[in-house]
């Protein structure tokens, strides 16, 4: 029986998000050991995809770990050490009986001390198993791809969709290539190209625009003789480390029609790299000032529009690791007289607790926001009536898992309904508002905090969608952020750069 060890570890750093991500965060958000780790993703994740191929191919999976901490500040060194020891300890224990290893990773984790812990982990795996045992790794499209990753694994594949929906098939791709290597077919070569560019997530959408064009060409190139798999990595934009830059990664094997696999792979990687570079200005994000958004709401009201305007504070995107405590749009709404029927979310444990202490129907006068990322956000003084209180537990649609935003209050400030969660919650879908007893479809304005993924859920109900120009740890204007460790030159920091690599 062929045996493959599998482990899943997901964390995406935002280096501008204050604090640290602890082992308790992993345990709260997604943690399973042994056989449970294979089913933790409810049959939809990479491990489930790998398991489906394993069943077809008669492969026995040795499941070790599922660890998920979402997006946020760097992982503590102690949490990383614990995860590392679980994975490496299991590999040492099972080494003699293993035919291959598959690590399903995000690719943009960072710890307090390391900027490439996943590359380091793959290198340690390689050291334990030696040069001949096939090692596969899969990544998010926002992977910070490094030379150490390329050196340490034989198979490296990434998501082909953004918003990400291909978890299952990514696991299948990795596992099929791994089985192919285990069965002794010609060893694949990996070639990649790092491109001296980075860009915020708003235009990473693979269904339209520049990224769609690149992904269409990627599919064509994958049909070339000898090409086994191609990945395009649009690096997590708020990752502050050397080697940051987008990457194209190609896996190829010698073929009668393309005997030089390395040259074949490099040619495809370079062609896609050129395509990304040629489109770089189209990845620039142009946002709308908040007063223009409010003017659009008033115009829509005057025209009798029944659908809401949806506006996203992408710079405070909780799914991009920000803290969700920005109140720029709320401030503008309050200053404009609080007459717009708006749903606005904010993460603020102190303000939520104050609402719970006061009780339903009580009037509270307090500061909200600016508590979690004080370097970016200022608090706002508000007076409002506590409309409802709930436990903040609900099933989000994206990601499709149970969510716990902590005790959550709705504060009515004039016509505004401010949804105050105790913890940052992902704000891509409508589910938090629904849990709080609110109907986004009936509002005049719905404010969310997402750099792009919200469009999947909100465009179908919105009269118009805006990305609002605010600041925060996930600012789309990367040149406004205090990066310290990037390798330069790098577009858009050097806007005149002419050489893609
Ligand atoms: Zn991603």
Centre of ligand 1 to C-alpha 296, Å, is 31
pLDDT of residue 61: 98
Model pLDDT for residues 129-174, shown as the tens digit of each residue: 999 999 999 999 999 999 999 999 999 999 999 989 999 999 999 9
Centre of ligand 1 to C-alpha 235, Å, is 8
Centre of ligand 1 to C-alpha 251, Å, is 21
pLDDT of residue 399: 79
Alpha-helix runs per DSSP H in 246-369: 261-278, 290-302, 328-335, 349-358
Centre of ligand 1 to C-alpha 71, Å, is 9
Centre of ligand 1 to C-alpha 161, Å, is 9
Model pLDDT for residues 45-71, shown as the tens digit of each residue: 999 999 999 999 999 999 999 999 999
Inter-residue contact 144 to 235 (CB < 8 Å): yes
Centre of ligand 1 to C-alpha 305, Å, is 34
- Residue 94 in tokens: 């099972």
Interhelix angle 290-302/328-335, nearest 10 degrees = 50
Centre of ligand 1 to C-alpha 164, Å, is 7
Centre of ligand 1 to C-alpha 12, Å, is 8
pLDDT of residue 300: 97
Centre of ligand 1 to C-alpha 453, Å, is 10
Model pLDDT for residues 319-347, shown as the tens digit of each residue: 999 999 999 999 999 999 999 999 999 99
Centre of ligand 1 to C-alpha 141, Å, is 5
Question: Across residues 461-489, what is the average pLDDT?
Answer: 96
Model pLDDT for residues 370-428, shown as the tens digit of each residue: 999 999 999 999 999 999 999 999 999 887 778 899 999 999 999 999 999 999 999 99
Centre of ligand 1 to C-alpha 140, Å, is 5
Q: What is the mean pLDDT of the chain?
A: 97
Centre of ligand 1 to C-alpha 18, Å, is 20
Model pLDDT for residues 276-305, shown as the tens digit of each residue: 999 999 999 999 999 999 999 999 999 999
Model pLDDT for residues 437-460, shown as the tens digit of each residue: 999 999 999 999 998 889 989 999
Question: Across residues 182-206, what is the average pLDDT?
Answer: 94
What DSSP character marks residue 102? E
Q: Is the peptide bond before 491 cis (omega within 30 degrees of 0)?
A: no
pLDDT of residue 291: 97
Q: What is the pTM of this model?
A: 0.93
Nearest to 13 by CA among 202, 323, 238, 317: 238
Q: H or E segment at 71?
A: strand 59-72
Please report, for the chain, the start and end positions of each structural domain, with discontinuous segments joined by +: 2-283, 290-475
Centre of ligand 1 to C-alpha 426, Å, is 13
Band the pLDDT of 480: cuts 50, 70, 90. Answer: very high
Centre of ligand 1 to C-alpha 72, Å, is 13
pLDDT of residue 16: 97
pLDDT of residue 368: 98
Residue 195 has pLDDT above 90, yes or no: yes
| CATH class (in words) of the domain with range 2-283 | alpha beta
């Amino acid at each position: 029986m062929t045996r493959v060890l599998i482990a899943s570890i997901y964390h995406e750093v935002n280096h501008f998000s204050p604090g640290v991500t602890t082992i308790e965060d992993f345990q709260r958000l997604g943690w399973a050991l042994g056989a449970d780790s294979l089913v933790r993703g409810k049959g939809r994740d990479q491990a489930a995809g790998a398991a489906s191929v394993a069943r077809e191919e008669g492969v026995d999976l040795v499941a070790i770990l599922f660890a998920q901490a979402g997006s946020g500040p760097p992982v503590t060194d102690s949490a990383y050490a614990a995860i590392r020891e679980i994975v490496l300890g299991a590999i040492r224990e099972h080494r003699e009986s293993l035919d291959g290893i598959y690590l399903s990773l995000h690719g943009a984790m960072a710890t307090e001390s390391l900027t490439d812990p996943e590359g380091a982990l793959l290198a340690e795996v390689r050291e334990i198993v030696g040069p001949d045992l096939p090692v596969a790794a899969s990544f998010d499209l926002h992977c910070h791809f490094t030379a150490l990753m390329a050196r340490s694994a034989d198979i490296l594949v990434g998501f082909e969709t953004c918003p990400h929906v291909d978890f299952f098939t990514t696991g299948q791709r990795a596992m099929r290539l791994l089985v192919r290597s285990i069965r002794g077919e010609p060893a694949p070569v990996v070639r990649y190209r790092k491109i001296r560019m980075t860009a915020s997530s708003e235009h990473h959408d693979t269904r339209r625009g520049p990224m769609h064009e690149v992904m269409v060409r990627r599919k064509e190139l994958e049909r070339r003789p000898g090409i086994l798999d191609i990945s395009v990595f649009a690096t997590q934009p708020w990752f502050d480390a050397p080697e940051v830059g987008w990457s194209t990664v190609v896996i190829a094997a010698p073929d009668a029609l393309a005997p030089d696999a390395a040259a074949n792979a490099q040619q495809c990687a370079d062609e896609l790299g050129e395509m990304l570079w040629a489109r770089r200005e189209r990845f620039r994000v142009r946002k709308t000032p908040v007063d223009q958004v409010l003017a659009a709401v008033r115009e829509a009201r005057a025209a009798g529009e029944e659908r809401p305007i949806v506006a996203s504070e992408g710079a405070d995107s909780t799914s991009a690791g920000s803290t969700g405590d920005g109140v720029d749009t709320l401030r503008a709404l309050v200053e404009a007289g609080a007459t717009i029927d708006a749903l606005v979310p904010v993460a603020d444990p102190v303000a939520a607790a104050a609402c719970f202490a006061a009780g339903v129907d009580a009037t509270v006068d307090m500061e909200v926001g600016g508590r979690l990322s004080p370097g970016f956000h200022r608090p706002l003084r508000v007076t409002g009536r506590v409309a409802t209180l709930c436990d903040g537990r609900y099933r989000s649609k994206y990601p499709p898992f149970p969510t716990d935003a902590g005790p959550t209050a709705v504060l009515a400030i004039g016509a505004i309904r401010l949804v105050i969660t105790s913890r940052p919650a992902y704000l891509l879908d409508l589910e938090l508002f629904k849990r709080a007893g609110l109907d986004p479809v009936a509002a005049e304005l719905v404010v969310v905090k997402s750099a792009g993924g919200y469009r999947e859920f909100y465009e179908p109900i919105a009269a118009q969608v805006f990305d609002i120009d605010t600041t925060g740890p996930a600012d789309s204007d990367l040149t406004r952020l205090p990066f310290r460790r990037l390798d330069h030159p790098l577009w858009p920091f050097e806007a005149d750069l002419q050489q893609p690599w």
